[in-house]
Structure 1
Amino acid sequence: MLADFTARLARLVTQRWRPVLVFWVAATIVLFAIAPKWKDIAYDGDFEYLPDRMTTVAAARVLDEAFPGDRARSQIVIVLGRQETSLDKDDLMVGDDLLRRLHHRFGEVCWQRAIARGYSGGPIDQAPELAQPWLQRALESLDHCIAVDQRFYERFADSVPDLAPTLTEPRMAIAYFDRAKLLEQIGGDERQSGDDYRDALLLVPDIETLAEPIAERDLTPWASMLDLLSWDDAVLGSLLTKPSARLAVMQLSSELAATENINTVESVGKILDQVRRYSLALAPHPENATERLQVEMTGSAAIGGETLIAARDAIRYTESITVIMILLILILVYRAPLLVAVPMVSIGVAVIVSTSMVATLTDWSIRGVLPWLDMRVFTTSRIFIVVILFGAGTDYCLFLISRLREEAALAPWPVACHKALRGVTSALLGSALTTVFGLGTLWFAQFGKYHYTGPIIAICLLVGLVVCLTLAPALLRALGPNVFWPNLVTPETESTRSLLSVPVSPDAKSTRRSSGLWEWIAITLTRRPLTAFLLGIICLAAPGWYGWVNEDSVTYNLSSQLDTDAPSRRGYRLLSDHFKIGEINPVTVLMVRGEDEPRETLKLQLKSLSDLLYQQPGVVAVRTPNDPLGDFPPDRDMGLLSGDAWRRRALQQHRVAQNYFFSNITQYQDRLARLDLIIEGDPFALATQRLVAQIGDTLNELARDPDSDWTGSSVYLAGTTPSIIDLRSVTIADNQRIKIAVVLAVFLILVAVIRRLGLCLYLIFTVLLSYYATLGLTVLFFQGVYGDQYVGLDWKLPLFLFVILVAVGQDYNVYLVTRIVEEQRKSGWLSALRHAVSKTGGIITACGMVMAATFFSMTASAWMPGLLHLLGIESDASIGLRGIIELGFALGLGVLIDTFYVRTILVPSFVALIGRWKSKQRRVVK
């Protein structure tokens, strides 16, 4: 059946090559035209794709239902501080420059949000109900901006640079203008409005033409901003103040890894650059770097946004470097322009068609055009698609062209094209299907990123295979023998035949040297197969054991994805020098009762629950409606008239506490209670995860206790640490499930293609050994590169490395073994093995180098910016994403091990041992 299919396919493509070319040109144009941009439909984040049964997913659902519309999901924390000495008045002047800019932005956002909720003018109390709080916040933020601006200018007046005034420098003229317009709309103080308008004109005379109406301003990067808390707040200021540091916290409605955070992080970064350039540049600069004032950004959204930026740059570098490396390899291999063009055009079409098709289907799935279709793509999915398509596609073309060279020396061109395609189709199908089915098994994963990404890559690889089996041979058929120009390959040239055995070089001498090398390897292996086999296993066993014991030594720390010099990592270090990290990453506890309780009763029960939680290991503070900041633990006594008591009352009335701890939604009103726990330690650390898990167990036991006030309550935990706990739990289970599925899928494909059960089992063993050896060497390498900064490989690396390496690694084994089986039909096992190794050695090596090069291109973001800088080329790329760099290195190394070690030593030596054993058995029988 397979033979009939390959014959029909070869006949169709070689005889109908013109319609084939037209079809692919039309398909490429149409799909590219209708497909949405990848970035417009790509998802990101990790926590958003946990199964619905996980506690944090259920907690997020409850939070969205109980606190709709304005729930903060992430934050950007801006740190103003010194490492050692206290801040002085010049430092606080820089802080004022920062605050006035941020408060104006927040005022603009609140005003636009009120307009979006139906406000078109008139007093605040007559505005639509949903718009009223945002109008009030807009006015308060503009008031705060102007107050800080006045204080800033009093300190800065003697240092104003001799530059033309702008809307924001040296004074916030735009803030005076906006407040005048807002007071005019809401019917506020007319005198104040007039004074503000005159001040704005005095500062910037043509401000009317420079300032856009508020409704027309592009505030998209700031649209997720829900609140701005700072050290300047009269009530919360003490929480965000230390002698050597100050904090400003931007609360955002977007998830920490939402794609819109890219623009938000970049926009905040521009404001920080403006502050550094304008006011910080004029502040005193101590010679000791540790005493200099720093203004840095961190927080969950900053880390998530920078991770996405790094992924975006990694995609850009990976795609460009992949194309360049493939182009260079093809030039070195063929030294024939048209032979270089055919694979590049074919793979380019495959990438465009497959990514456009996937993007279109995903868009239809998101919009419900195809309700039964469930597809999602991610920012980093494109990296794997490009790399695997270019690597595998080039390999397919190399094998096709190699076979065509052999056939072209023996038959006319149309016949040669037909025979070449017919001869390689079964091998290419077997090779591709191991990868397709291996990646397709990720569909069984419960973690969304695994579940969607594997099948998407498999679909794209299938498209690439179809292109290489149709478009590439059609192009070769159309170009004719001139495709080998400046070399000639004709049936009449007997001397050409020796040139065709290995397509590494068109030069006959180099070809003979290459063929001779593989003949020597084949003879050596078949003479001493047991020695080669044992040494080969032993050499991989040591790194394989190290990979085995370190397979689970991975990190789930999102911030560790970024280089230590990344802005958010610098901000994280500055923040941790002065504040407890847990204060900006609280664990949210939701207790949902089955029945309503009076609000005051709930508050009393929360007090006793808070006392219980303070007794739990690792709990530093508990934030409740009675104590919104968690700075009054049970053992802290205070008098009724003390300053702390009055401050506590003020905190309870602050907007941060209002509608935060209790829901006003009917479904949850007087049933839901919310607490925030400050846990000691790094939120990403395993020790912190254990503490949080123990707290969750304690609360669930309390809910099961029939004598407890909270009996029958549903307990939910939300926050970074609970999400990490769920993510670790799901991915560990997925790793075990998917590994078994991949091995079974690849094994079944091998049995179907090779039909040698023992040999297939051994081939599975070799790739497993190769995987663990690669993992061990990767761990050792990055331990040396990162030094003290090494906290483990990225948690996604082991599974992706396993799936891709086990699937792709079998390609070259399939090529070799199918050739051995083919040769055995003509001669004995010894001659067949030597001939197969000799004939396939050069082409498999070339293919392995191509695939390794494409995987290594994933590391380009680590070294390409530095190389460009040395060449005098400025690059705006961010620092690389460690997870992609580590995976690219591991995959490239694994393919090289498979190409030069497994396929060269382990597989031929085992086949030789089996052949020798069978020969002895036959002699014994005789």
Structure 2
Amino acid sequence: MGATSTKSTADAPAQAPPRREKDGRRAARLVPWGVLVLWLAVLALAGPMAGSLAGDQQNRAVDYLPASAGSTRAAALQDALPGGEATGLLVVYHRDGGLTAADRATAAGQMADVAKAHRLTGAGQPRGVRSEDGSTLMYPVESTEPGQDDAAVEAFVEDVRAVAAGGDGLTVQVGGPGAVGTDMKEVYSSLDGPLLYTTVAVVAVLLILIYRSPLLWLLPLLVAGAADATAMAAVHGLHRAFDITVTGQSQGVMTILVFGAGTDYALLLVSRYREELRRVPRPYDAMRAALRGCGPAVLASSATVAAGLLCLLAADLNSSRGMGPIAAVGVLCALAAMTTLLPALLVLLGRRVFWPLVPVYGGEPPARRGLFTSMGGSVARRPLAVLTGGAVLLGALALGAVNLPGGLKNDGAFTSTPESVAAMRTLARADSDGGAQPITVMAPAGRAAEVAAAARTTEGVTAVERGRSGGGWTELSVTARAVPDSAGEAATVEALRAELDGRYGTYVGGPGAQQLDLADTSARDRLLVVPLVLLSVLLVLVALLRSIVAPLLLVAAVIAVWGASLGIGGLVFGPLFGFGGTDPALPLLSFVFLVALGVDYGIFLMHRMREESLAGAAPAAAALTALRTTGGVIASAGLVLAATFSVLLSMPLVSLVELGFVIAVGVLLDTFLVRTCLVTSASLLLGRRVWWPGRLGRSAQHPGNSPTP
């Protein structure tokens, strides 16, 4: 017994290592395949749901507004009236030099044909309104026949366009809210394909240049595509469950974030994995080491981005409130895919995925380029001058924000000129008087006559017509003297609200009122959401870096970047791009994205600086080492993210172009000026105080005597 027991005890240690080795080999084979099978199952389930997301989009101006806005309440009451929501069109006939009698006869005949073919509101055939110079004749056409069915509205607009035809110098254009909505829907429906293809092409080119491998660049793209499909399915589920507002803008930005942020995470992971392959013989073990090494920083950065984006839930504007969870879902899906599916594919393909630059076990890494070492040396020699000069430059650029054009108007929403916009511009040039874009007033049915009488005496009003009634409400169509989307029309809307809402309990709506509510709500949202974003990001940074000074430094840096980016936008939007207005939601959305994404890169730099300090490095050495080791990855990630947001510059909507430009410029400023020069120089000047009040900020560190993290 004793001998047997002794033999067994002695044999056990000798057998354990082979067993652990065998278990490790089994895990190396099974775990990656298991992850791949799981993702295939997820994609099989997500595919049909992802394809349904386009049908969830709500792209009317009123869909962007909060339920409490006056124009939103007016639109909801209109929808409930008999026949549903009315579709309003403006058919504009124009001839340079003046319309002829034959032109007017042609217009009258075509409008008679429209009245015969469709059930129009009002009495009989539409009545034309001539401009003072006689060059333009405008016919308001309104029908409840299409109701709220998008396909029926589109068919109605296209039919009117088919009937209203010009020629021989006579131009005919169909505009108005119904036509603008149809053109907007067509633009948004055309975004998904070009946006995705352009984004993929841009990221592919950059990854090929970065990796210099015929295969490696393809993996992050395939994984990002899987993440994008998963995110679309998840957003579709959120829309069905919680009725979050999905717009073409929010879906497009989500795709950009999935590919941009996802590729950033892939760059960090692949860089660390390549490094570990030189130290570890088996790819599976190398990947485990890589995930342990860069995983915390990636998790922290994605958590910061998601936390900042989710602050948009506090916004009152439907489009901004919906953007928050939609964008956060995109970031989290990118994180999940890049930390599970990408590692599985890399392990299964082995070292050969890096061909021709295959990392050899036991080999030495190629010599680092000296760019960031040189930049760090320059900053170290004159940190105060670099910090002062950079701050002055950012401040000067921020002054350009005062040159931002005013609010974006309906006829300036497109980068090209669809027919509906051309019609409104023709009317504006002709200064056509009356009826160009009626203002809707929803009045309690019992007081409709009083409301109509009061509206007629309101400054800026030329006519009031009674419309449909039902459910205790009556629709009044108010004609303003001013042309659509002008300061005069806005003043008339405000005068009607001041005169009617409090006394009679009315709601004033229509396109002009919606633009006013959009601007007012966006301004209120900035006052609420901006402090929330700053607080949430600051708390995450304090928890991660265990300091107050370093997080304040990073937050101040991204605020400066945001101001400078908006300032550059103010310098180019009008003079260079020819934009007549700025999207009211641009300041808030650009702030949220630039703060969240900018702090993302700050985490990589400061976290490495903290690691070096904990290892006993002096403050200056820690800062310069962090810049040297993370500068290349941050630069590559910044280029990819800026390039993906630059894709929005090719889109046909001004709001998307403006958002893409400001974020892309901000990311480049953050990557190559703020992170590289200003944060590093500030860290050098502050020394150990940058970590106050943590242990690193209170006492000198020595190798072998570092505090525990």
Does TM, normalized by the shorter one, top 0.5?
yes
Corresponding residue for 1:131? none
Distance change >3 Å, CA 71–CA 852, structure 1 → 2: closer
CA distance in 1, matches of 2:591, 2:199: 22
Classify the secondary structure of the residue corresponding to 1:44: coil
CA distance in structure 2 between the partners assigned to 1:262 and 1:62 by the alignment: 19
* 1:755 positional shift: 1.6
Q: Which residue of the partner structure matches residue 257 of structure 2? A: 388
- 1:256–1:765 distance in 2 versus 1, CA, 3 Å: farther
Distance 1:909 1:834 in 2: 10
Inter-partner Cα distance in structure 2 for 1:686 and 1:345: 50
Residue 519, structure 1, aligned to residue 373, structure 2:
yes
Q: Give the alignment of 1:827-846 within 5 angstroms.
A: 827-846=617-636
Partner amino acid for 2:591? F
Question: Of the candidates 188, 196, 213, which is equivalent to residue 336 of structure 1?
Answer: 213
Equivalent position amino acid for 2:379 in 1: L
Q: Alignment partner of 1:794: what SS?
A: coil
Deviation at 1:238, TM superposition (A): 5.2
- Displacement of 1:575 in angstroms is 2.5
Distance 1:261 1:852 in 2: 40
- In the TM superposition, residue 237 of structure 1 has moved relative to its aligned partner by 3.4
SS in structure 2 of the partner of residue 377 of structure 1: coil
* Structure 2 residue 493 is the aligned partner of structure 1 residue 616: no
Number of matched residues? 667
Q: Which residue pairs with 1:203 in the alignment? A: none
Q: Is the 8 A contact 1:563 1:569 kept in 2?
A: no
**Are residues 690 and 86 of structure 1, via their aligned partners in 2, closer, same or farther at CA, if it must alter by over 3 Å?**
closer
Report the Cα distance in structure 1 between the residues aligned to 2:153 and 2:641, rounded to whole angstroms. 32
Alignment partner of 1:245 is 2:245: no
Alignment of 1:249-260 (within 5 A): 249-253=140-144, 260=151
The 1:686/1:93 distance shift into structure 2, 3 A limit, reads closer
Q: Find the aligned partners of 2:459 and 2:555 in 1 and give their Cα distance.
A: 47
CA distance in 2, matches of 1:820, 1:257: 58
- The aligned runs of 1:124-135 (5 Å cut-off) are none
Aligned to 1:467: 337
1:202-237 superposed Cα distances (whole Å, 9 cap, x missing partner): xxxxxxxxxxxxxxxxxxxxxxxx55989xx3xx53
- Residue in structure 1 matched with residue 366 of structure 2 by the alignment: 498
Q: Give the deviation of 1:64 after TM superposition.
A: 4.4
SS at match of 1:295: strand
Provide the secondary structure at the position in 1 that maps to 2:362. Answer: coil
Q: CA offset at residue 97 of structure 1?
A: 7.7
Out of 590, 595, 600, which is 1:801 matched to? 590
Deviations 1:135-154, CA, capped at 9 Å, x for gaps: xx6xxxxxxxxxxxxxxxxx
Which residue number corresponds to residue 305 of structure 2?
435
Residue 259 of structure 1 and its aligned partner are, at CA, apart by 5.1
**Aligned residue identity for 1:76:** L
Whole-angstrom distance in 2 between the partners of 1:227 and 1:389: 47
Matched, 1:903 2:675: yes
SS at match of 2:217: helix
Say which of 78, 84, 103 aligns to 2:91. 78
Distance 1:259 1:524 in 2: 61
Shift of 1:833: 1.7
Mark the CA change 1:256 to 1:792 in structure 2 (over 3 Å): closer, same or farther: farther
Is the 8 Å Cα contact of residues 542 and 548 (structure 2) preserved in structure 1? Answer: yes
Distance between the aligned counterparts of 2:483 and 2:147, measured in 1?
17
Alpha-carbon shift at residue 354 of structure 1 (Å): 1.3
The match for 2:383 among 525, 529, 536 is 529
Rounded to whole Å, the distance in 1 between the matches of 2:603 and 2:493 is: 49
Highest Rg: 1 or 2?
Answer: 1
Displacement of 1:29 after TM fit? Answer: 1.7
Aligned to 1:540: 394
Q: Residue by residue, what CA displacement relative to the aligned partner does 1:625-679 show, whole Å, maximum 9, x if unpaired?
A: xxxxxxxxxxxxxxxxxxxxxxxxxxxxxxxxxxx36x3x5x63xxx56543322
| Structure 2 CA distance for aligned equivalents of residues 394 and 256 of structure 1 | 44
Percent of pairs identical after alignment?
29
Q: Contact between 1:582 and 1:683, CA under 8 Å: does it hold in 2?
A: no
1:403 aligns with 2:272: yes
SS state at 1:583 partner: coil
Q: Which position in structure 2 is the counterpart of 1:50?
A: 65
Deviations 1:590-612 (A, max 9, x none): 4427xx68xxxx75x56xx62x5
1:445 is matched with which residue: 311, 315, 318? 315
C-alpha contact (below 8 Å) 1:338/1:483 kept by paired residues: yes
The DSSP-based 3-state class of the residue aligned with 2:464 is strand
Structure 1 residues 322 and 228, CA gap change in structure 2 (3 angstroms): farther
- CA–CA separation in structure 2 for the residues paired with 1:323 and 1:266: 35
Aligned twin of 1:39: 54
Which residue of structure 2 aligns with residue 128 of structure 1?
none
Displacement of 1:341: 1.8
Q: CA deviation at 1:326?
A: 0.5
State the alpha-carbon separation in 1 of the partners of residues 312 and 36 from structure 2: 34
Distance in structure 2 (CA, Å) of the matches to 1:256 and 1:395 = 46
Q: Could you tell me whether the CA contact under 8 Å between 2:49 and 2:232 is conserved in 1?
A: no
Look up the match of 2:479. 678
Match of 1:699 among 500, 520, 531: 500
Question: What is residue 744 of structure 1 aligned with on the other side?
Answer: 535
Q: What 5-or-longer segments of structure 2 have no aligned partner?
A: 1-25, 691-695, 701-709
Q: Which residue of 2 aligns with 1:148?
A: none
Displacement of 1:99: 4.7
Deviation at 1:563, TM superposition (A): 3.5
Q: Separation in 2 of the partners of 1:58 and 1:261?
A: 23
Tell me the TM-score normalised to structure 1 length. Answer: 0.67
Residue by residue over 1:34-70, the C-alpha shift from the partner in whole angstroms, topping out at 9 and shown as x without a partner, is 54422222222232353333333333444445x3225
In structure 2, the partner of 1:129 is: none
Large movers: runs of 4+ above 6 Å: 11-15, 254-258, 916-923
| Structure 2 residue 660 is the aligned partner of structure 1 residue 888 | yes
2:444 aligned with 1:592: yes
Alignment partners' CA distance in 1, 2:360 and 2:290: 15
Give, in angstroms, the shift of residue 810 of structure 1: 1.1
Alignment partners' CA distance in 1, 2:477 and 2:114: 26
Extract unaligned runs of 5+ from structure 1.
Answer: 1-10, 107-136, 138-225, 284-291, 366-372, 500-511, 625-659, 704-712, 862-879
| Distance in structure 2 (CA, Å) of the matches to 1:723 and 1:589 | 13
Name the CA shift for 1:771/1:261 in 2 (closer, same or farther; >3 Å). farther
| Equivalent residue in structure 2 for 1:299, among 176, 182, 189 | 176
Asked if the contact 2:64/2:318 (under 8 Å) is kept, the reply is: yes
Aligned to 1:68: 82
In structure 2, what residue type is equivalent to 1:87? T
Superposed displacement of residue 407, structure 1: 1.0
**Aligned in 2, Cα 1:70/1:673: closer, same or farther, shift over 3 Å?**
closer
Query: In structure 1, what is the Cα distance between the partners aligned to 2:564 and 2:494?
Result: 34
Tell me if the contact between 2:315 and 2:321 (Cα under 8 Å) persists in the aligned partners: yes
Report how far residue 31 of structure 1 moved: 1.4
Q: In the aligned structure 1, how far is the partner of 2:662 from the partner of 2:626? A: 29
Q: Residue 417 of structure 2 aligns with which residue?
A: 565
| 1:844 and 1:899 in contact (8 A); partners too | yes
- After TM superposition, the structure 1 stretch with the greater mean CA deviation from structure 2, 767-776 or 812-821, is 812-821
Separation in 2, partners of 1:13, 1:396: 23
Partner of 1:722: 513
Q: Deviation per CA, 1:322-349, whole angstroms, max 9, x where unpaired?
A: 1001001111111212211221111111
Counterpart position of 1:18: 33
Taking a change above 3 Å as real, the CA distance of residues 361 and 917 of structure 1, as seen in their structure-2 partners, is: closer
Aligned-partner Cα distance in 1 for 2:235–2:418: 33
In the TM superposition, what whole-angstrom CA distance separates every residue of 1:311-368 from its partner, at most 9, and x where no partner exists?
Answer: 3334332211110010011111112122112211111110111112322443x43xxx
Contact 2:598 2:670 in 1 (8 A): yes
Report which stretch shifted further, 434-443 or 413-422: 413-422
Whether contact under 8 Å (1:45, 1:258) holds in the other structure is no
Select between 426-435 and 572-581 the one with higher mean Cα deviation: 572-581
With normalisation by structure 2, the TM-score equals 0.87
Q: Which amino acid in 1 is paired with 2:462?
A: V
Could you tell me whether the CA contact under 8 Å between 1:388 and 1:461 is conserved in 2? Answer: yes
Change (3 A) 1:613 1:481: closer
- Tell me, yes or no, if the aligned pair for 1:98 and 1:271 is still in contact at 8 Å: no
